[in-house]
């Protein structure tokens, strides 16, 4: 698995010692952004709306979670203006 990740550029291998030491190539945030972008395009036809609707429908969200999501959406909307 680590060899496949190395081949895909997701991990890097230090071959200076045995056993080899593997490290991530990108931050957690960068990896999440890449994987999410790929998921949106492959599974949801590029529609972020479809992803969000499916995610909210897949499990019950608390009122607090929904309120926080609304606040985040408002913040994103204000940034675009």
Output the CA angle 30-36-41, nearest 5 degrees.
130
Whole-prediction pTM: 0.65
Average pLDDT over residues 64-78: 92
Tokens 């990740």 correspond to 5
**Residue 76: per-residue pLDDT:** 86
pLDDT at 77: 85
Residue 44 phi, psi dihedral angles, 5° rounding: -125, 20
| Residue 28: both structure tokens together | 């957690």
pLDDT at position 80 over 80? no
CB atoms within 10 A of CB 20: 12
Q: Write out pLDDT tens, residues 6-54.
A: 998 889 999 998 899 999 999 999 989 989 999 999 999 999 999 999 9
- Sequence ranges of the domains in the chain: 2-80
Give dist(CA 41, CA 48) in Å, integer. 9
């Amino acid at each position: 698995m680590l060899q496949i990740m190395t081949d895909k550029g997701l991990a890097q291998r230090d071959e200076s010692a045995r056993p080899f030491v593997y490290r991530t190539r990108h931050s957690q945030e960068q990896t999440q952004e890449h994987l999410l972008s790929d998921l949106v395009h492959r599974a949801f036809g590029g529609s972020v709306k479809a992803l969000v609707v499916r995610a909210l429908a897949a499990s019950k969200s608390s009122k607090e979670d929904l309120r926080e999501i609304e606040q985040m959406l408002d913040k994103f909307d204000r940034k675009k203006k």
